[in-house]
Amino acid sequence: MTRWGMVIDLDKCFACQSCTAACRMENNTPPAGPDQASRDRAILWNEVLPFVEGEYPRVKVLLVPRPCQQCDNPPCTHVCPVRATYKNAEGLVMVDYARCIGCRMCTVACPYQVRYFNWYAPEWPAALKAHLNPDPEVAPRPRGVVEKCTFCIHRRRHAEEKAAAEGRPFSATDYAPACVQTCTGRARYFGDLDDPNRLVYQLSHSPRAFRLLEEMGTEPKVYYLKQG
Amino acid sequence: MAKDRETDLERTMLNPLRQTTMQFWLVIAALAAICALGVIALVRQWALGLGVTGMNRPVYWGIYITNFVFFIGISHAGTLISAILRVTQAEWRRPITRIAEAITFFALLLGAMSIIIDLGRPERVLYLLIWGRYQSALLWDVTSISVYLLSSTLYLYLPMVPDLARLRDRWAGGRGQGSEVSGQPSAVSDWRYHLYRVLSLGWHGSHEQHRRLERAIGIMAILIIPIAVSVHTVVSWIFGMTMQPMWRSTILGPYFVVGAIFSGIAMLFIFMTIVRKAWRLEPWIGAKQYNYLGILLLVMSAFWGYFTLAEYLTTGYGTVTHEQHVIQAKLTGEYAPWFYAMLACNLIIPFAILLRRQGRTPAGTLIAAVAIAVGMWIERFTIIAPTLTRPSLGFGYAVYTPTITEIAITAASLSLFAMLFLLFFKLFPAISIWEVEEGEHVEAVRQKARELMGVA
């Protein structure tokens, strides 16, 4: 069983936010518009978070791209009253949009704020609407439910289908989320965290590696490599 | 029994059921108007989405959840207090148990309603029954509140049976006429007789029926105490089971229970005073009730203050960063006005008024009770909002400003609660007539015993 994980090298990341844009196009998250965005309602499965320390002129800024941390011990799935959010067989946290009742207990329980709520029914400007990803697995979500990063789980299916069509076994290198593929600085690594021959395994064991809010015991499968 | 002359008590209790003043209907109309505004706001919310509220990321819960906790809290007015007083055989409880139990019943309905209003997909609420999983604290709430609602209904209903039988007999006499003695003309129609007849379950006041009723009430009174405690404990655990700063605290369960009983007694004071005034129950609900219940309120205020001190001192003394952000928001940040208003309402005002016996008058306790009701709502709010605006992964503080929709629905919820409560006592007597009569007999016997002993 593959334990999918991600490593993000903060030294190589220059916060261009192309991962955010690629994620938006890949997963059909609606643009919020200036009004809703200013009210903290934007849905960005892969958000680049600014951690600002100190005051001008002595300011230290750390920009951290933050997909779902895909915890091995996810607080969100524990609290869901109807199992609308759950870990799939490979340990990725999924949301069943048809079952979510919109109680937002998971959004409150997640310490990483990766879970987003559909405050309104999603809308797109006509030009963007023409370019929605047609994959039914990422069909726009209805209003009133929670959604979040899935590590582009539909891409895994595509990769598997492709491998089958080409008559070869599916390998962990066949599949990567859109943010990893698009990353301009090649700062992201993706693959099986349990396979010692993979780069993600080696980097996640690097002395530079750390995880967000590690002390909470959520066991995220997203590792960061320390900056500087 | 039915053909007896009406006693003072009976007449006082039955008159409001027979006649309704214009004033009463005006109050109901005003409350209904507020409810109508709330319904408009709610329909709009259901049509457009929860975007019409002020909630955002990360403040995913706002005043709807505050209302939920508040209503569940005041539901402890009743059943728990009435049960404790029954178990301890406090004689002065007799005229106020029915009011207390009715508060519980309607507060629970409104609490359940608040949580449905807060859902993003309210039409899927039954999924909780179909796919409910007990790993989630929300299911604990669903279970606990359902059990509490069921047992509270039973606990409201059981002691009402003898009174219902009396109503049935009164209404049977002249088909809506009062008794032949009072002979008042009445606009009460026939359906009430049938309602009372069905609900009174063939009660005819035999010794055996009394024995069974007392036994059933006795069992319920004891059962309901752990149920009530469990309800507010698990309500706190929808917060306490997350890892949010200042929510993940072992004190939260008992803290919420204390707060619930505290706000419950305050609510009992408010509604007791309204009913006493409107239904003219001064001879039965008097100085004794206000004094004793006032002391109880004061004790709960002290308990609440103790828990608050324990919680804030422990957190504040420490240096855990995430918790410091939250506590600073309350002590010196934008939630400071709320926090200090809460302390004034829940500690300073009650102590200033209730500490001296002269303060424990109907007017004095009413002021204290209103302050506490407001203060406890604020308490719920300052537990929920400051924590959510300062999440552990801190990259700036969030802001939460409730919208007109949320305020309208909150006002409507409170109005609906008051309206249901008032209408209920247009159909059923506000005081448990038979229990007060029983109390009078008990008192008479005791008096007699004292006389005999005194002579000897």
Kindly report the CATH number assigned to the domain that includes residue A157: 3.30.70.20
> What DSSP character marks residue B8?
H
Contact A101 B137 (CB under 8 A): no
As to burial, measured by CB atoms within 10 angstroms (0-12 exposed, 13-18 middle, 19+ buried), residue A72 is middle
Residue B209: is its pLDDT beyond 70? yes
Compare B437 and B211 and report the one with higher pLDDT: B211
3-class DSSP assignment, residue A222 = strand
User: A11: which 2 tokens?
Assistant: 């030294």
Average pLDDT over residues B223-234: 91
Average pLDDT over residues A83-104: 95
* Distance (Å, whole) CA B327 – CA B321: 10
- Residue type at position A32: A
- Closest residue on chain B to A120 (Cα): B49
Contact B120 A104 (CB under 8 A): yes
Q: What is the pLDDT of residues B215-225, one digit of tens each?
A: 998 898 888 88
Contact B135 A78 (CB under 8 A): yes
Domain count, chain A: 1
- Closest residue on chain B to A35 (Cα): B51
Contact A144 B48 (CB under 8 A): no
Residue A136: is its pLDDT beyond 70? yes
Nearest chain A CA: its distance from B149 CA (Å): 20
Average pLDDT over residues A202-212: 96
Nearest chain A CA: its distance from B58 CA (Å): 7
Nearest chain A CA: its distance from B330 CA (Å): 20
Contacts of B398 in chain A (CB under 8 A): 40
**Residue A73 φ then ψ, to 5°:** -125, 70
- Residue type at position B181: V
> How high is the pLDDT of residue B83?
84
Distance of CA A149 to the CA centre of its chain: 4
Average pLDDT over residues A11-23: 94
Average pLDDT over residues A83-100: 95
Average pLDDT over residues B152-167: 89
Q: What is the pLDDT of residues B112-151, one digit of tens each?
A: 999 999 999 999 999 999 999 999 999 999 999 999 999 9
Number of A–B residue contacts, CB under 8 Å: 137
> How high is the pLDDT of residue B438?
83
User: A183: which 2 tokens?
Assistant: 């990353």
Please give the model's pTM, rounded to 2 decimal places: 0.92
Q: What is the pLDDT of residues A138-169, one digit of tens each?
A: 999 999 999 999 999 999 999 999 999 999 99
* Distance (Å, whole) CA A141 – CA A96: 10
- Closest residue on chain A to B57 (Cα): A40
- Closest residue on chain A to B47 (Cα): A120
Q: What percent of chain B has pLDDT over 90?
A: 54
Find which of A108, A114, A219 to mutate to test the B interface (most B CBs within 10 Å of its CB).
Answer: A108
Contacts of B400 in chain A (CB under 8 A): none
* Distance (Å, whole) CA B370 – CA A80: 37
> How high is the pLDDT of residue B176?
46
Distance of CA B10 to the CA centre of its chain: 26
Nearest to A81 among B133, B242, B398 (CB): B133
**Residue B86 φ then ψ, to 5°:** -65, -45
* Distance (Å, whole) CA B296 – CA B313: 25
Distances (CA, A) of A155 to A69, A151, A220, B179: 18, 9, 21, 80
Name the band, by pLDDT with cuts 50, 70 and 90, for residue B184: very low
> How high is the pLDDT of residue B286?
81
Are A90 and A1 spatial neighbours (Cβ–Cβ below 8 Å)?
Answer: yes
> How high is the pLDDT of residue B361?
86
**Interface list for chain A against chain B, based on CB atoms closer than 8 Å:** 36, 39-41, 49-52, 75, 78-84, 99-105, 107-109, 111-113, 116-121, 143-146, 212-213, 216
Contacts of B44 in chain A (CB under 8 A): none
| CATH architecture classification, B8-455 | Up-down Bundle (1.20)
> How high is the pLDDT of residue B94?
83
Q: What domain range includes position A208?
A: 4-225
> How high is the pLDDT of residue A10?
95
Domain ranges of chain B: 8-455
Nearest chain B CA: its distance from A53 CA (Å): 9
Contacts of residue B155, Cβ cutoff 8 Å, sequence gap at least 6? B79, B82, B83, B101, B217, B220, B221, B224
Nearest to B395 among A51, A82, A103 (CB): A51
Of A112, A113, A121, A110, the closest CA to residue A145 belongs to A121
Nearest chain A CA: its distance from B142 CA (Å): 10
> How high is the pLDDT of residue B4?
58
Contacts of residue B308, Cβ cutoff 8 Å, sequence gap at least 6? B255, B343, B346
Nearest chain B CA: its distance from A81 CA (Å): 5
> How high is the pLDDT of residue B5?
67
Contact A102 B120 (CB under 8 A): yes
